[in-house]
Amino acid sequence: MKITVKLGDQAETMVDIPEEKAIDTFLKVVRDLHMAKGFVSTRDTIVNTIPAIKPNMDTEKGVVEIAKNIDQVREYVKNNNLIFWKCPECGRVQYSFAKADESKRCINCDYEQEFKNIKPAAYVCPKCNASSYLFVVDGLEQIPCKFCKADIDLVWHEKQEKYVSPNMLK
């Protein structure tokens, strides 16, 4: 299945993907486009962007299928979390879009990570000022900024019961 995603005249990308991975990959493409163009890519902005992208989509069969299933895509976004995790096998820090009890494979070494113990997290990047809400697999205390890749430290905030970047501590 070929998917083309366009953000107005600003960005366009095409991927060829297996059918069963279509929604997952579609969301990754949307997020990567957001990132490349400096949009803040949160669960909400992804949900809000999908209808805006829809009229600009290519008429490839696969895209039409996805456009038809836009409610399914929205539901998927609502029910899945952006989870940052570090592969225990090869050490690669990466993110997945998944449910709390799901598992995903490492993009580098194919290790299968279960997302059993996830905690909410938020950061404001000291370098590019982007902010993001996400989840981390317990114990992950440094992640790359989704936008500029700067290292972000995360510390546990007792009161808010989530990890935050140090500049969010009061």
Exposed, middle or buried, 147 (CB in 10 Å: 0-12/13-18/19+)? buried
List 40, 150, 160, 166, residue binding Zn ion (CB under 5 A): 150
- Of the pair 111, 133, the CB lying nearest Zn ion is at 111
Minimum CB distance to Zn ion, residue 90 (Å):
3
The site that binds Zn ion (CB under 5 A) totals a number of residues, namely: 16
Considering only CA atoms, which of 60, 34, 58 is closest in space to residue 130?
34
Minimum CB distance to Zn ion, residue 128 (Å):
3
- Count Cα atoms within 13 angstroms, Cβ side, for 121: 32
| Residue 107 engages Zn ion in binding (rule: CB under 5 A) | no
- Of the pair 61, 105, the CB lying nearest Zn ion is at 105
Minimum CB distance to Zn ion, residue 132 (Å):
9
Question: Which residues lie below 8 Å from residue 58, measured CB to CB, with a gap of 6+?
Answer: 4, 6, 14
| Residue 108 engages Zn ion in binding (rule: CB under 5 A) | yes
Report, in this order, helix, strand and coil percent for the chain, each rounded to 5.
30, 35, 35
- Residues binding Zn ion (CB under 5 A): 87, 89-90, 92, 106, 108-109, 111, 125, 127-128, 130, 145, 147-148, 150
